[in-house]
Structure 1
Amino acid sequence: MSTPSFRDFLYAPGHPRVADIRGLDAREYAEAAKTDAFAGPMIEGWRKLYPQPFTGITNDGVRREGLYKLAPARPGEEAPTAAMAAAARKLLGAVDGGQARKLRYRVDAPEWQSWANPEFLQHDTGLRLDELEPPVRDAVLGVVEASLSAAGFELVRNLMRINGFLGDLVELPAAHERIQL
């Protein structure tokens, strides 16, 4: 018995699951996903939950108060807040007014809950790297880099490269081709 290749678990390029979305950008695919038999019901469920206030993450729907205590960072583990703030100011100086509105939300705004990483765009909040000019994209990545350790930033960039590789594997590289990672 031979060991299966990862390619055995991918849809073939002509499979209806990918053939119908070939050539669509993220926004076009988001619209198509709403009517997809798999993604459509999932998106509808998220749409209903999205405006609900965030109360925490549970494994069974029961909130447990005091599960984690807030404590000062241990020496050497403090967040680099000055570098993070400087990178954020640089980013805000690089964007136009419309882009700035997609970066600034009230602390309790539901937009903070909208991030997810499925293959389709769920909520149009924030900025898409594949739609940004290089100076703005670099400034966004500067905020990420200032917020993470060197190893953490390298991991994030490698994960971005893997997403691009997966797009190439199923011959859906449209967004990846516009971003040089």
Structure 2
Amino acid sequence: MDPEAAPSGEYRKYLPDLSIPRFTTMKQQSAHVYAKDFKENHGPPWLHALYTHWLKLLSEPYKGVTSDGNVRPNLFQLQDEGIPIDAIVKAATDLISQLTPQELARTMHHIDSPEWRTWSNPEFLLSDKGIRLDDVTPAVRDATMALLKAILSPEGYEKAVSAMRINGFLGELVDGKAPIDTTPWGISFYGHHLCLNIFLYRSQLIISPWFTGAEPNEIDEGPYKGTKILRKEEALGLKLMQSLSVAQQTTAQIYKQMKDPAMPPGRWNRDDQRHLCGAYRDNRVVPYEGVLVSDLGPEAQSLVSQTLAEYFLYLPQQARDMRLKQAQQYFKETYFCWIGDYSSSNSIFYYRIQSPVVIIEFDHHSGVFLTNQEPQRFHVHTLLRTPNQGDYGMALKALIPGEVEQAWVWEEDLK
């Protein structure tokens, strides 16, 4: 599909029956009632079982995504990335100043608290923390978006807002202390189909892990008609796979079918489908698969770089350039793998690019609100992880002078 093509409306063949209980009940519930009903009544059972599994994963001490279970040290460093930290701190301070005491208590958490890792993509309000943008005043909502705009690149902000608009369109279809610039801090901005975990320290920025999805991936009517996202990631991945030699394609294609009989149990699941690095998978071991990028020709390596650059889009330009340069330095340890077809412009597929310093995933999904039983191009999930403890700025945090005081004692015990 041409990334610049107009919305096709292909998804409309799979609009659901809004008269069934799922939608008539949901229409009468607020997000909080919807989540309470889900947690208390355990339905649907498979999703509640996934939720309880997530809680077990959260109880594990953080280790980070790895390729073999061993964290590789010395991959990341503190550096000046030119982040406009003063403007970001001002936007954060403006937001905090407008929160009520109750909102502030729900929103402010220590940077080592478990709440930092309790993000999720489903529409269910599984982790009821912070402020919800449809529950606050317009002024607080505007201040929140102003903070996000101050942090992200202009292109990244537009992508995030487009994801939010598309998710709103889906809804229509189915009726403490202020941060300062010398200490680490961050925000968790998440909801259905948009999850951004953001860590800041001085002029350095980590946006990882993040998730961006869309069902459908376009708006074909209304005030935001023409909005579309995730098409460049789709087109670049397919172009990369099609540029490989037959032998390289054979190596890269780890499974021919999207739900392949050759897959071991658990390689496909109802929620993440082919994704390996979704919500709560902070400690997952993801072995390298596919073809080694350094063995590819110049055209293919250029397409790998272009694809990574698209996934780094949320970062401001200087930080984006530095992150891409770092990823390119590890091409001798970077793997590209593929699941599904690649024979035409309408192919359905999954791909992953994985190295010691970055993992990106792209997946065509079956319907959640729409009724397509098989993956389609209009339902897309993408994500980025920074392995070896890079997520949530954990690796950087360990390098910050004075952040960890091993000899600390409670002063009352010295009296």
**TM-score range for the pair, normalised by the shorter chain length:** 0.7 to 0.9
2:25 maps to 1:20: yes
Question: Any residues of structure 2 matched to 1:6-155 within 5 Å, and which?
Answer: 6-34=11-39, 35-36=42-43, 37-58=45-66, 62-66=69-73, 68-70=75-77, 72-73=79-80, 77-155=81-159
Identity across the alignment (%): 34
Q: 1:170 to 1:131 in 2, by over 3 A?
A: same
Alignment length, in residue pairs? 166
Q: 1:69 to 1:26 in 2, by over 3 A?
A: same
Deviation at 1:170, TM superposition (A): 1.2
Equivalent position SS for 1:130: coil
TM-score (norm 2): 0.37
Deviation at 1:20, TM superposition (A): 3.1
For structure 1, which segment, 6-15 or 143-152, has the greater mean C-alpha deviation from structure 2 after superposition? 6-15
Deviation at 1:4, TM superposition (A): 9.1
Cα distance in 1 for partners of 2:9, 2:100 equals: 49
**Equivalent residue, structure 2, for 1:174:** none
Deviation at 1:98, TM superposition (A): 1.4
Structure number with the higher helix fraction is 1
8 A Cα contact 1:102 1:126, kept in partner: yes
Deviation at 1:59, TM superposition (A): 6.2
8 A Cα contact 1:102 1:125, kept in partner: yes
Cα distance in 2 for partners of 1:68, 1:79 equals: 21
2:118 is matched by which residue type in structure 1?
S
Cα distance in 1 for partners of 2:127, 2:75 equals: 29
Deviation at 1:11, TM superposition (A): 2.6
Q: 1:33 to 1:68 in 2, by over 3 A?
A: farther
Deviation at 1:101, TM superposition (A): 1.7
Deviations 1:83-104 (A, max 9, x none): 1111111111111111112222
For structure 1, which segment, 34-43 or 135-144, has the greater mean C-alpha deviation from structure 2 after superposition? 34-43
Which structure has the greater CA radius of gyration? 2
Q: 1:5 to 1:85 in 2, by over 3 A?
A: same
For structure 1, which segment, 98-107 or 81-90, has the greater mean C-alpha deviation from structure 2 after superposition? 98-107
Cα distance in 2 for partners of 1:59, 1:141 equals: 36
8 A Cα contact 1:53 1:110, kept in partner: no
Cα distance in 2 for partners of 1:9, 1:71 equals: 48
TM-score (norm 1): 0.81
8 A Cα contact 2:63 2:71, kept in partner: no
2:169 maps to 1:161: no
For structure 1, the residue ranges without an aligned partner over 5 or more in a row are: 172-180
Deviations 1:99-150 (A, max 9, x none): 1122221111001111222111111111100000011111111111111111
Q: 1:63 to 1:102 in 2, by over 3 A?
A: farther
Deviation at 1:58, TM superposition (A): 4.1
Equivalent position SS for 2:155: helix
8 A Cα contact 1:33 1:39, kept in partner: no
Q: CA RMSD in A?
A: 2.4
Which one has more relative contact order, counting CA pairs under 8 Å at least 6 apart? 1
Equivalent position SS for 1:40: helix
For structure 2, the residue ranges without an aligned partner over 5 or more in a row are: 1-7, 176-223, 225-415
Q: 1:71 to 1:165 in 2, by over 3 A?
A: same
1:149 is matched by which residue type in structure 2?
S
